Structure 1
Amino acid sequence: MLAVLFGVLAGAIMPFQTSVNNRLRQSVGAPLLASFISFLVGTFSLLVATWITSGHPYPALGNTTGQPWWIFTGGMLGVVLLTGNILLFPRVGSVQTVILPISGQIIMGLIIDTTGLAHSPQAPLTLVRVLGAAAVLVGSLAAVGVFSKKNIGQTQSQGASIWLWRLFGVVMGMCQATQVAVNGYLGTVLGSPIESALVSFAVGTTALFILLLVTRTKWRGINGAGQKNPWWMWIGGVIGATVIFSTAYLGPIIGTGVTVVVMLLGMMLASLMIDAFGILGSPRRHIHIAQLLGLVVIILGVTMIRI
């Protein structure tokens, strides 16, 4: 039960990372540059955490000898998700950019739990778990307001030409669930989820640096927003590092599928709070009863999957 609550708390800080990184993007101008800075800050924070907990500022990579190559792909999967959000948003809109990856997370989470992919703890695929996953998806749809008349109209007007992008959105979510399993196993191999998160962030930072070179993204300073930069715009990497550590810690304990859905619950709770109170400079939005009912359905679905 404590692990589930920890997962909810870890998920709850994810929307704050989005707000923080968005503010950083406004200052530096380029989304890739903001992502690189965020990953770099996260890497350094994990170096310090590794040093404090293990006595040395580097992961015990000697333990990975003889292990499969894919244990180092967690950082790349994170970059796919990060870059995918940048590409997906202008093509399918904000609602589908949220929902499509969630669908992929839930589907892949069940697959990983059922097959034991990436040495994840196995759990049988029962009817109750399938219904629970469906409840989480429906609740998520309601929580982000996808059933409103406005969003239904937008979805219907987009046509069939964007179905490949929608499929890509689902694949993004599947990558995120796979990242949970990969980093969880890497944490077991290294004997430390913190060191697993460090490896993941270091790989992601390197990949983003290469992307910056390939795209020839230029440094434009940090005053692009035309206003004073708040101190908190630099902590997105610390929040991200905490999330990755949480997934590496929880995956081997409660399984990939449960980790995904409990963090999703926390993410939805925090997202509605940010909208309701306008936290971190976000515009305040009215919360509808359907969104609150969606949260209740998500909680029911999480309970069914956990049982």
Structure 2
Amino acid sequence: MVSILVGLAAGVGLPVQTSVNARLRKQAGSPFRASFISFTVSLLFLLILLFITEGGLSLPWDRMFQEPFWIWGGGVCGVIFLTGNIMIFPKLGSVQTVVLPVMGQVLMGLVIDHFGWFCSDQTSLTALRAAGAVLVVTGVFIVSAAKSGGEASPSKQEAKTPGRFVWQALGVLIGMMISVQTAINGHVGQVMESPVRASVISFLVGVGLLFTACMIQLATQKGIEHRMVLKGPWWMWTGGVLGALYNLANVFLSHRIGTGMCVIILLVGSTTGGLLIDQAGLFEVRQQSITLRKAAGVAVMILGAVLIRLL
């Protein structure tokens, strides 16, 4: 029960992070630059937390180098998810940008559990667990369509996107990366004997990749505005802290409740948190009331989570 509450709380923080980082992007002038700033704040927060909890900043690198090569992939998966979302949103629209990655997350989470990939605990895929996964995706679709005014179908411009199927497949793929990241970071947490150490490793890789991406972007795209973040509300800097806490929850939960269940509990929390932000109009987000349809979508997600967890 404690694990589920931790997952729900971390999930609620995810849409807060998204809203905060959206404000940061306005000041940074580039999505990659904003993401680099957010990841750097996450890393600094985790290093402070590591110093407080461990009494130093040393990491057992010798253990990491004895593990399979994929143990370094957590940060890579996070950057792929971030970059992929930036790419598919203008191609597919808001609803599919939410629903397709969720499909990938849920599907890959159950597959990882079924086969025990990335040193995860093995949990067989049953018909009821599959039905629960379908309910979770259906609930996300209901909420996303309701938030976009019921326009579940793509716009005419989006429908004419060349290679639309490829973009849809990419949407599912980047969602799968989140489940892979959850499983990998969970194993790193066991190797490091600390969720904080595991999260530091993940964000070190992510910061390195995003720094490289920013340098390439600056060198190759002359039209990019090179302004620095100087002004803005204080809370726009907190997205990195929330991202670090979300990653810590992933590491903490994945080996306690399984990758698939971890992903789904975080999804339920993030969807609920997003609705609460819309209802209150927080962080400069356009205010939208929680409707019966949105509440029904969350209820369907919870029912799916119950099927997966209890049956």
* Interval of TM-score (by shorter of Structure 1 and Structure 2): over 0.9
Equivalent AA in structure 2 for residue 14 of structure 1: L
2:76 corresponds to: 76
Separation (CA, whole Å) in 2 of partners of 1:59 and 1:95:
41
DSSP 3-state at the match of 1:252: helix
1:211-222 matched pairs, under 5 angstroms: 211-216=213-218, 219-222=226-229
SS of the residue aligned with 1:287? coil
Report what 1:7 is aligned to.
7
Contact 2:93 2:154 survives alignment (8 Å): no
2:190 aligned partner: 188
2:116 equivalent to 1:116: yes
The answer to whether the Cα contact below 8 Å between 1:121 and 1:254 also exists between their aligned partners in 2 is no
Closer, same or farther in 2 for the Cα pair 1:153/1:186, shift >3 Å?
Answer: closer
TM-score (ref. length: structure 1):
0.95
Which letter does structure 1 place at the counterpart of 2:54?
S
Q: Would the alpha carbon gap of residues 149 and 262 (structure 1) be closer, same or farther in structure 2, given more than 3 Å must change?
A: closer
Partner of 1:97: 97
- Per the alignment, residue 199 of structure 2 pairs with 197
Q: Tell me the alpha carbon deviations over residues 223-266 of structure 1, each in whole angstroms, 9 at most, x when there is no partner.
A: 5xxxx510011111111111111101110111100000000000
SS at match of 1:152: coil
Distance (whole Å) between structure 1 residues aligned to residue 39 and residue 239 of structure 2: 8
List, as ranges, runs of 4+ consecutive aligned residues in structure 1 with deviation greater than 4 Å.
146-149
Alignment check: 8 A CA contact 1:59 1:198 kept: no
State the AA in 2 paired with 1:152: S
Quote the offset at 1:75 in angstroms: 0.4
**CA displacement, residues 61-81 of structure 1 (integer Å, 9 cap, x when unaligned):** 222242101111100110001
Identity of aligned residues (%): 39
Using the TM superposition, give the Cα deviation of residue 156 of structure 1 relative to its aligned residue in structure 2, in angstroms: 10
CA RMSD of aligned residues (A): 1.7
For residues 297 and 86 of structure 1, the distance between their equivalents in structure 2, rounded to whole angstroms, comes to 28
Aligned partner of 2:173 in structure 1 is: 171
Letter in 2 for 1:142: I
Query: Is residue 2:152 matched to residue 1:151?
Result: yes
Structure 1 unmatched ranges of 5 or more = none
Give matches, 1:276-287, under 5 Å: 276-287=279-290
Partner of 1:66: 66
Q: C-alpha distance in 2, partners of 1:297/1:122?
A: 26
Aligned partner of 1:74: which letter? G
Aligned residue pairs: how many?
A: 303
Question: 1:261-288: per-residue Cα shift (whole Å, max 9, x none)?
Answer: 0000000100111111101110101332
| 1:292 is the counterpart of 2:295 | yes
* Whole-angstrom CA distance in 2 between matches of 1:133 and 1:156: 31
> What pairs with 1:127-142 in structure 2 (closer than 5 Å)?
127-142=127-142
